[in-house]
Amino acid sequence: MSIRLRFTLFLFAMSGPLAGFAESLDPTKTRYSLPLPEPPTIDGVIDLDSESWVWAGGAAGGGGNWRVTVDDGLEDFIRGGQLGGGEAPFDNEDLSFRFFVGHDSDNLYIGVRLTDFDPGDDSADAESENGQTWQDDSVEVFIDGDNSNFAERDTTGSNPEIVDTGGQFVITYNNAYRQAEAGNPGYGPEEAWYARADFNDTDTGWDAEFRISLDAIGNPKPGDVIGFSIAVNDDDDGGPRERQVIWAGEAHVEASYGNLVIGGKQLTAPKAAAPTIDGILGADEYAGATPVVVDGHTGVYNIPSGDDTWEEGDHSYTYWVTHDDEAVYIGVDVTDDEIFTDTAEAGSEDGQTWVDDSIEIFFDPDESNDAGRGGQNFEGQYVFTPNGARRDNEANNPTFGKDADWFAETQETDKGYVIEFKVKKSALLSPEDGSTLGFNVALNDDDGTGRKAQLNWSGRPHSEFTYGKLTLSANPAGDGDSAPAVGGSIWISQSGGQVTLEWTGSLESANSLSGPWSSVGGSSPMKVSADAQQRFYRVR
């Protein structure tokens, strides 16, 4: 008998459309589409000076947070993506790309900027429909609008499980387009989707811009998760393509795509007694706060800082946030298989903390959503390392100490380290109960050769408009609708004859939905045989 898994998900201290979204995230890459103030012009040129692309996901930082590049130091030579076919590019001039994703109430917008020294267009005629676009320089967008994760490769263009909520949308260097694998929903400026390509203003390649109607992909709403990937085909010398590079997964296999969340993350911190800032997460500290799990599929890697493909257990973190009348408190429990703090000296201030293992906390207390880090009072970045080095230069140098503007302490654990932060509200423009602040948490991972990865909860460091939102609830945990008393998250995956359960909170099981429910011993993750007796699971 095959196992039937069922879970009930109780969440606390979260609010807004993204509350509880984690159960929809597949164990793959995740990105966030950001709302655009106005539609970009779909003309094949990504204008970052005058168009709203500048506010899209992936636009922050100038150098491109969402990009796929050649890295000779990696086994597969691809940073930020993977090879989908053929040989790896010789270098970044041969092929590399960055991409942008935004949305409004009607459409999803995708922009792709390619560096390509020799684009080819000899297979599909210019402006033609449904030709052999994959043999030319082209961009393919894959969408699983209901995140159904259809497991089989499907290119029929007639399977309703695929085409009713997405499929494949293609534009070539010479503006041939392909929509057959999306069920031919209709192409044109006023149709279901539209795309154009042209030389870009960098003189190193070309741009592709897409507008895809939300109606054509199942009408996802803010907070929804859809399957998503981008593939680029490269034809250097005519004839068949030389290679395909894809951001995530395998072409035409929904179950392998990355996650795209429509909108940014949101979190609510309950009002609670102040924890003791000593680097130890006491059992009663951060009472009722949501445990926020950040790993390779729930977080966002900053690609310019390192690759995004690491084995499970290499690095991840869980954090909790509470507040009282005086301060905001953040406790971070880090899993890290190798701790290195060989750059910023122990106890030092404003050294190169980002090169070492460290945790960075970002605040935008006035929610100005600036393109940069803002400069009011002590808003900005607060950093601490496992050896007690700190950095607050990018928060305009507040005072540090137990009774100062901010304070932090750390302790090593058997699986990594813990860092606790206290940041006074007076350093954050004195937010009142119920206020919402821009917020992000990032982990830097150094295995002895410099930073190899930076993993963010939501957004890109020093780019306020990409941050998530933190609401300081007026209610303690368990008091009022904004902070119900129990919570947790659960992820379920299957490989071969075993099902793996991973969870935060307390796992319970029962033989039926009506119960009785009983606590499950052991710790996350837990493996269950696929031939076991039917059981139902929930977390509290």
pLDDT of residue 531: 64
**For residue 508, what pLDDT is reported?**
76
Residues 246 and 319 reside in one and the same domain: no
Let me know whether 366 and 229 are in one domain: no
The CATH number given to whatever domain includes residue 439 is 2.60.40.1190
Number of domains observed in the structure of the chain: 3
- Flag whether pLDDT at 347 surpasses 60: yes
Predicted confidence at residue 79, as pLDDT, reads 94
Closest CA to 82 of 279, 229, 183: 229
Closest CA to 103 of 240, 184, 213: 213
Whether pLDDT at 56 is above 90: yes
Rounded to an integer, the average pLDDT of 134-146 is 97
User: Which of 262, 280, 307 is the last residue before a domain boundary?
Assistant: 262
Contact assessment for residue 137 and residue 119, using Cβ atoms and an 8 Å cutoff: yes
Domain span at residue 175? 30-262
pLDDT at 8 over 60: no
411 against 477, higher pLDDT: 411
Least confident of 215-219, 313-317, 522-526: 522-526
In a domain, 493, yes or no: yes
Same domain, 143 and 205: yes
| Residue 251 belongs to some domain of the structure | yes
Strands 266-269 vs 468-472: parallel, antiparallel or unpaired: parallel
Least trusted range by pLDDT, from 19-33, 90-104, 500-514: 500-514
Cα distances (angstroms) measured from residue 40 to each of 53, 213, 228: 7, 14, 20
Cβ atoms within 10 Å of 282's Cβ, excluding its own: 12
In this prediction, residue 517 carries a pLDDT of 66
Q: Could you tell me what percentage of the chain is helix, strand and coil, using 3-state DSSP and rounding each to the nearest 5? A: 10, 35, 55
In a domain, 109, yes or no: yes
The per-residue pLDDT of the chain, averaged, comes to: 88
Q: What is the pLDDT of residue 12?
A: 31
Alpha carbon distance 220, 40 (integer Å): 20
Nearest residue to 440 via CA among 25, 38, 52, 60: 60
Residue 523 is predicted with a pLDDT of 65
Decide if 508 contacts 519 (C-beta within 8 A): yes
**Residue 1: pLDDT over 50:** no
Cα–Cα distances in angstroms (integers) from residue 285 to residues 86, 275, 412, 523, in the given order: 53, 5, 18, 20
Residue 100 corresponds to which tokens in the numbers above?
Answer: 């942008």
Are residues 305 and 362 part of one domain?
A: yes
Same domain, 257 and 270: no
Region of poorest pLDDT, from 245-254, 456-465, 487-496: 487-496
Residues contacting residue 336 through CB under 8 Å, at least 6 positions apart: 314, 315, 357, 415, 416, 417, 445
Q: Are residues 364 and 227 part of one domain?
A: no
Helix (H, G, I), strand (E, B) or coil at 422: strand
Whole-structure pTM value: 0.79
Distance CA(208)–CA(396), nearest Å, equals 40
- Across 120-135, average pLDDT: 94
pLDDT by residue (tens digit) across 362-406?
Answer: 999 999 999 888 888 999 999 999 999 999 999 999 999 999 999
Residue 120 in domain: yes
Q: Among 237, 262, 287, which residue terminates a domain?
A: 262
Look up tokens 């168009």; give the residue.
51
Do residues 88 and 118 share a domain?
Answer: yes
pLDDT given at position 284: 83
Calpha distance 240→141 (Å, rounded):
20
Is 482 inside a domain boundary?
A: no
- Which of 262, 282, 311 terminates a domain? The answer is 262
Q: Does residue 135 fall inside a structural domain?
A: yes
Q: Where are the beta strands (DSSP E) in 122-276?
A: 138-144, 166-172, 177-178, 193-199, 205-213, 225-234, 243-246, 258-262, 266-269
User: What is the structure's pLDDT at 478?
Assistant: 54
The percentage of the chain sitting over the pLDDT mark of 90, rounded to a whole number, equals 70
pLDDT at 366: 94
What is the reported pLDDT for 19? 37
List residues bridging with 30 in a β-sheet. Answer: 259
Shared-domain flag, residues 324 and 448: yes
* Secondary structure E strands in 375-415: 380-384, 390-391, 406-412
Rounded CA-CA distance 122/118 in Å is 12
451 is written with which tokens? 């930073």
Q: What is the mean pLDDT of residues 159-182?
A: 97
Q: What is the pLDDT of residue 528?
A: 74
Query: For 330, phi and psi rounded to 5 degrees?
Result: -130, 125
Same domain, 497 and 527: yes
- Residues 532, 454, single domain; the answer is no
Residue 9 included in any domain:
no
- Both 451 and 498 in one domain: the answer is no
State the DSSP H helix or E strand holding residue 440, giving kind and residue range, or none if neither: strand 436-446
* Cβ-count burial 484-521 (b if 16+ within 10 Å, e if not): beebbbbbeeeeeeebebbbbbebbbbeeeeeebeebe
Residue type, 53: W
In a domain, 21, yes or no: no
Q: pLDDT tens digits for 480-521?
A: 433 333 345 566 655 556 677 766 667 777 765 555 667 776
HEC profile of 155-180: CCCCCHHHHCCEEEEEEECCCCEECH
Range of lowest pLDDT (99-113, 379-393, 463-477, 509-523):
509-523
382 beta partners? 361
Q: Is the pLDDT of residue 3 over 90?
A: no
Please write the tens of the pLDDT for every residue from 230-246.
999 999 888 899 999 99
**Which residue's structure tokens are 């009722």?**
288
Give the pLDDT mean for 438-464. Answer: 95
Q: Give the number of other CB atoms < 10 A from CB of residue 346.
A: 10
Model pLDDT, residue 20: 39
Sheet holding 489-495, edge to edge: 489-495, 498-504, 526-529
Together in a domain, 445 and 506: no
Share of the chain above pLDDT 70, in %: 86
pLDDT at site 324 = 97
